[in-house]
Structure 1
Amino acid sequence: MSKLSTAILRAVPGAFIANSGIGKIGMPAEYSAGVQQAAASGIPAAAKLPADKFGTYLGYAETAIGASLLAPFVSSKLAGAGLAAFSGGLLTMYFRNPENTEADGIRPSQEGLSLSKDVFMLAIGLALMAQGKNK
């Protein structure tokens, strides 16, 4: 893979995720609790974290993942692994909630469309991991 294509694969989701994370840091407790409830539908252990701080914790984690994608000194393999893990977590919310899919359990319903798109981030993460050495 060329350096330009690697930069594109890293910069686009990196900037998006970092921006999303920064927006969650310090979020109001009520909103944080709602985000936690949604996250716990896919990752039940998320319910064990303090509800009023969950959004801030998630914000720091998202910012770190986005920054790792944007930082050229972080290997593509490591940055891709972080992105794959993050998007995999988001996809668990998609697959564990029956309202997100059509009757076949795969195709997205209208409610699940926004989460189903996270499969693209998973594909990008896997592509970066497949590159092997940092490019």
Structure 2
Amino acid sequence: MRVLVRPHQIPVRLATGLFMLNAGLSKASADEETAAALHGMASGAYPFLKNMEPMTFAKLLSKSEIALGVALLLPVVPSVVAGAALTAFAGGLTGLYLRTPGLRQEGSLRPTPEGMDIAKDTWLVGIGASLLCEELGRRD
């Protein structure tokens, strides 16, 4: 029988899942100003988002973070699925960091003080990729 979550994966899934759930719940009641700021930053990096209403974007972002957090927390969600979802989401955050002017030092990947909050989220890519690679590399 294949185990969906192995014991050593529980701490990282718990910590990351709670972090993502909190991020999503925090955005669930975003006001117009917060929604506009979130949407402005995202649509600057990803132009296809420009036509979306800021409140719609904030609600979608909130629901995505909540769903991802819950997926990481629930042991019935296979680690390969949770890891793939986390890697994709975190890849988007990393793209936002790389594409937004002023978040990185000129000619460097090192963050500016303004970029630190987003740059630190690159650890999510590592966690997601680790879960994904471990599960894809398994030989049952």
Shared fold per TM-score greater than 0.5: yes
User: Quick one: which amino acid aligns to residue 128 of structure 1?
Assistant: L
Secondary structure of 2:10 counterpart: helix
Instruction: Determine which structure has more spread, i.e. the larger CA radius of gyration.
Output: 2
Q: Normalization by structure 1: what TM-score?
A: 0.89
The 8 Å contact of residues 42 and 90 in structure 1, kept in 2 or not, is answered as no
- Amino acid in the other structure paired with 2:122: V
Tell me the residue number matched to 1:123.
Answer: 126
Q: How many pairs align?
A: 133
Deviation at 1:44, TM superposition (A): 2.0
Equivalent of 2:25 in 22, 26, 33: 22
How big is the shift at 1:112?
A: 1.0
Shift of 1:72: 0.4
Deviation at 1:12, TM superposition (A): 0.7
Equivalent in the alignment of 2:41: 38
Report the counterpart of residue 84 of structure 2 in structure 1.
Answer: 81
> 1: CA distance between counterparts of 2:113 and 2:60?
29
Structure 1 letter corresponding to 2:134: Q
- Is 1:69 aligned with 2:85? no
Amino acid at match of 1:37: G
C-alpha separation in 2, matches of 1:48 and 1:18: 27
Counterpart of 1:100 in structure 2 is: 103
Partner Cα separation in structure 1 for residue 34 and residue 119 of structure 2: 22
Question: Which residue identity does 2:40 align to in structure 1?
Answer: Q
Mapped partners of 2:97, 2:61: distance in 1: 18
TM-score (normalised: structure 2): 0.86
Which 4+ runs in 1 deviate beyond 4 A?
none
Does the aligned pair in 2 maintain the 1:14–1:66 contact within 8 Å?
A: yes
Q: CA deviation at 1:111?
A: 1.4
Whether the 8 Å CA contact 1:35–1:55 is kept in 2: the answer is yes
Q: Structure 2 CA distance, aligned partners of 1:47 and 1:65? A: 24
8 A contact 2:41–2:100 mirrored in 1: no
| RMSD (CA atoms) | 1.8
Quote the residue 1:12 is aligned against: 15
The residue identity in structure 2 corresponding to 1:27 is: A
2: CA distance, partners of 1:23 / 1:60 = 11
